[in-house]
Structure 1
Amino acid sequence: MLLGVIADDFTGASDIANTIAKGIAPEGGLRTVQYLGVPAAPAAADVEAGVISLKSRSIPAAEAVAQSLAALDWLLAQGCRQIVFKYCSTFDSTPEGNIGPVGVALARRLDVRGVIACPAFPDAGRSVYMGHLFVGNRLLNESGMEHHPLNPMTDPDLRRWLARQGTGPVGLIDWPTLQRGTVATRAALDAAAARGEQLVIADAIRNDDLLALAEACADARLLTGGSGIALGLPRNFIRRGAAHGGTPDVHGIGGPEAILVGSCSRATRAQIERHRASHPVFAIDVDQVMEGRLTVQDIVAFIRANRDTAPLAYSSSDPDQVAALQKKYGRETVAHTLDALFASAAKELFESGTRRIVVGGGETSGAVVSALGITSFRIGPEIDPGVPVLVSEAGAGLGMALKSGNFGAEDFFAKALDAISGTGADAR
C-alpha cells in the first residue's frame, strides 16, 4: 500500500476514496479500498490506497485522537509512504476539536512539522483564500454551516479556529506564495516547520492550486484536508513508477433498493424535494419517534411497499425546526435516536434482501454502515463530485452510496441507485 487515509466520517471517506481512485487524466488513479473502521487483518496485496473510515468527527477529542492513531499504526504496518488526515471541506469541528487535536497528534507520531491543512474542494464550491474558507461566494459562517446541528461553523478564519483547538501557532501558505511555484511553496512550508508551526493552512481556489500543493508535498509524510488535497497524490506515485494508474471498475449490483436520509443541509432538502416529484417519500416525524409512535417497522414497511420505485425515508428539517427539536429533547438524544432508527431499518432491509442502499448524511451513513457489518468497499465510478459507487469487498453483494449533506446534484438520489446497478450514464 502506497497511500493511507484516515477519514473522520464515512461519507468523507467515500469522498476522498473517489478522488484517489479516479485520479486525473491521463494517469488515472490508484486501486482503492475503503475500510469501515481499523481493519483486523492486512490489506489485500493489490490495494494501492487504503481509506480508513472512522466516526470520529463529533466524539470527544481524546477518543478521536486514540482512534486516529490506531488507524495510523495499521496504515504504516501496510507500508504506506504517505498519510492523509481527511476532514470535511467545510471544516466541521468545534472550538474543542477534533481537527486540530487529531492533526497535531498524527504530526507528533510521525515527527513532522509544517503539515498542510487545506479543506478546499473547488468542484464542490469550497475554496480557501488568505486562510478564510468560502462556500461558493459566501464566507463559511454565512453559508448555512453556522446552523449545523452538531458542528456550527461560526468563524471562517481557519487559523483562528485551529488555534482555539489548542494547536499552538498555525501557519499560512497564501495564494500569492502558491503562485510562485513548487520551490517557493516548499520553502514556505520548511520555514513554517522551523518556526514550530505543526499545521499550516494552505490557500486553494481552483484545482490547479491543489495539484500544485500535491507536487510541493510529494515527499511529505503527512497532509491534512478535504478530499481535494488528494487530487494530485496518485499522479505523484504513478510518475515515479510506484503505481500504474487506471480508472475505477466494479460490477454493478441489482436488486431491491432503499434511500435513507438524515442530513438537514440545504442541498439535501432540495434533493428530497426533487425526488418527491416522481418517487415515493416518507417524512419521519421526530416527535413521533421520540414518543415511540413511529418505529423501525414503519420505515421498513414503507420501503417494502414501494419496491422498485426508489423509495426515500428522511428525517431532514429546516434549521428552526431542528433547533426546536434539539431544545425539546436534547441535541445528542435526538441525533442518537435517529441514527439508531436508520441503522436498524437498514439492517432489517439488508437482511431481507435489499441490495442497493443510498444514505444521505455523514452521521447517518456511519450508523448505517456500522449496523450492516460491512468491513470494506471497493471504489466504483463517480456518481456526482465527491460521491462514488461503493461495492462490498466480501460476498455480501451490497452496493451503496454515502452522500455528505451538501454534496450531489438535485437529482442525486435516483441517479445513485442507477449508478449502483450499473445502468447510469457513466455505465452507458
Structure 2
Amino acid sequence: MKETELLLGCIGDDFTGSSDAASFLAEAGLKTILVNGEIGRLPETDAEAIVIALKTRSAPKKRAVQESLAALQALRSRGAKHIYVKYCSTFDSTREGNIGPILDAFMEEMAVPYTILCPSLPVNGRIVKDGILFVNGTPLAKSPMKDHPLNPMWASRLQDLMQPQSIYPCLEISHKRLDEATAEEIISELEDFKKDHPRFYVIPDYINQEHAGKISQIFSSLPLLSGGSGLLTELADRYKGGSYTTKLTQDKTEGCGIVFAGSCSKATLRQIEVFQESGGKSFKLDPNALRQGDYLEEVWSWAKERLEQEVLLYSSDTPENIHAHQDASTAELLEKAFACLAKKAQRAGVKRFVVAGGETSGSVAQALGFHAFVIGNSVAPGVPIMIPTDASDMRVVLKSGNFGQEDFFRQALDMTRR
C-alpha cells in the first residue's frame, strides 16, 4: 500500500487515552490508525495519523521511558512530521509519575528547547486557568481524582506536579496574555526565556475553544507537543489545511454485545446504575472469590446464558470500599479476570465489546489479540467506535473511566448493533 504523508504521530500512555486522541483526530478529518503497543509491527497504511497506545502511565519509570522512546523512533522512521505525547486530561501523575521523565527524554532525543503541557479538555470539564488544572470547576487535588487508586492527585498547579518529576523548569502563559498578546509577542517572550533556560516547558491557560485556536497558532509548528486530546482538533485542522475529506467507517455490525467495567470513577459507577435501571442484566465480580478455581467459570456460565440480552460484567466499586477491602494484588487479579472473560466471549461469537476503565480496556484489548484499529464515529467525546484492521465484523468501544454520558453503555451497544 502506498503511504500518504504521516502528518502526526501520537504516543499515548494507556489504551483508552490513545483511543480518545484517535477519535478527535479522525473526527477532524485525518485518516487515523490506532496501534496497540507492538511498536515493531506498525501496519503499512495510508493513514495521516498513527496513534500508538502504550501502557506506561503506571509502569516503572525506566521501562516507561524506554518504551516511549522506542515508539518515538518508530514514528520518526515513518516520517512523522509532528510528535504528540498524549496523557490524561487530569494529568494523572504522582510525585514519581512518568510524564516528566518521558517528556524530558523526548526533548533531549529530538533536540528541542521547549514543548507545551496542555491537558485541557473543556468538553469534558477539564480546563487550565492561572496554571491550575480544574475538573468540572474543582481544583484537581480537591476533585474525586484525589482518591484515584493508582495515581492519587496531590496538587492542582501543573508546575507543582512537574517539579518533582522533571529536571526542567516551567513557564506559565495566562489566559489574559493569550487573549491580549499576538502570537509573535508570545514567541518573542519564549525566546527571551530560552536565553537563560536552554530547555523548559510552557503551560498555557486553556479555558475555551478560542484558547485552543491561539495555542495551536503559536505552537503547531513545534516538532514535539504534549497534552490531552482537547488540542488535537485544532492541530489536525492546521496540519491538514482545513480540508476535511475523510469519511468515517461503518459503525454497525451483527452479533452479540457485552460490557466490561473495571473503572471506579464516579462517572462509571453512575453509568452502571443507569444500565441496571434500564433493565440491563449485570453481574458484579467478587475479587476474593476470584482466588477460587471455579468462580470465573461460574461468572462466564451466567453471562453466556444471557448474551442475547447484552450483559454487563463489572468490578467497579467506590474508592472507600476498594481501600478497605482490596489489597495490592487485587487490581492485577481483576485485569486477568476480564482478559479471560473477553477471550471466552470472543470464542462464543461476541462481536461487540464495550469496556470502561483504562487498565481494564488495555487488558481486554490485549486479550482479544487485535493489533491495529481503524477509528470510527464517537459514542461520546473522546470515545470512538473502533474496527480491528484484521476483523472487520468486530466493534470495540473503550472508554476512560470519567468519560461518557450516564446512558453510555446502552448508547454504545445501540450504535454498534445492526
* Matched letter for residue 346 of structure 1: A
Q: How far does residue 325 in structure 1 lie from its aligned partner after superposition?
A: 2.4
Partner of 2:285: 284
> Partners in 2 of 1:190 and 1:6 — Cα distance?
27
> Partners in 2 of 1:345 and 1:295 — Cα distance?
12
1:2-401 to 2 correspondence within 5 Å? 2-23=7-28, 29-179=29-179, 180-194=181-195, 195-239=197-241, 245-277=245-277, 278-289=279-290, 291-292=291-292, 295-326=295-326, 329=327, 331=328, 333-395=329-391, 397-401=393-397
Does structure 2 conserve the Cα–Cα contact (< 8 Å) formed by 1:13 and 1:51?
Answer: yes
Does structure 2 conserve the Cα–Cα contact (< 8 Å) formed by 1:112 and 1:198?
Answer: no
> Partners in 2 of 1:118 and 1:82 — Cα distance?
16
- The unaligned stretches of length 5 or more in structure 2 are 1-5
> Partners in 2 of 1:166 and 1:124 — Cα distance?
27
> Partners in 2 of 1:202 and 1:247 — Cα distance?
33
Does structure 2 conserve the Cα–Cα contact (< 8 Å) formed by 1:295 and 1:341?
Answer: no
> Partners in 2 of 1:345 and 1:388 — Cα distance?
22
Q: How far does residue 244 in structure 1 lie from its aligned partner after superposition?
A: 5.7
Q: Deviations over 1:131-178 (max 9, x none)?
A: 110001111111100000000001101101101113331221221222
Q: Return closer, same or farther for 1:274/1:293 CA change in 2, 3 Å cut-off.
A: farther
> Partners in 2 of 1:298 and 1:397 — Cα distance?
28
* Matched letter for residue 303 of structure 2: I
* Matched letter for residue 310 of structure 1: E
User: How many residues align structurally?
Assistant: 410
Does structure 2 conserve the Cα–Cα contact (< 8 Å) formed by 1:173 and 1:203?
Answer: yes
Does structure 1 conserve the Cα–Cα contact (< 8 Å) formed by 2:104 and 2:168?
Answer: no
Does structure 2 conserve the Cα–Cα contact (< 8 Å) formed by 1:34 and 1:377?
Answer: yes
- The unaligned stretches of length 5 or more in structure 1 are 24-28, 424-428
Q: Return closer, same or farther for 1:76/1:38 CA change in 2, 3 Å cut-off.
A: farther
* Matched letter for residue 385 of structure 1: P
Q: How far does residue 247 in structure 1 lie from its aligned partner after superposition?
A: 4.2
> Partners in 1 of 2:284 and 2:42 — Cα distance?
42
TM-align CA RMSD: 1.7
Q: Deviations over 1:217-262 (max 9, x none)?
A: 221101000011212111112228xx76434223522211110000
User: Partner of 1:354: helix, strand, or coil?
Assistant: coil
Q: Deviations over 1:370-395 (max 9, x none)?
A: 11111000000011111010010113
Q: Return closer, same or farther for 1:192/1:96 CA change in 2, 3 Å cut-off.
A: farther
Q: Deviations over 1:61-91 (max 9, x none)?
A: 1111001000001101111000000000000
Instruction: State the percentage of identical aligned residues.
Output: 37
Q: How far does residue 192 in structure 1 lie from its aligned partner after superposition?
A: 4.2
Does structure 1 conserve the Cα–Cα contact (< 8 Å) formed by 2:251 and 2:385?
Answer: no
Structure 1, 334-343 or 187-196: larger mean CA deviation: 187-196
* Matched letter for residue 6 of structure 1: I
Q: Return closer, same or farther for 1:176/1:417 CA change in 2, 3 Å cut-off.
A: same
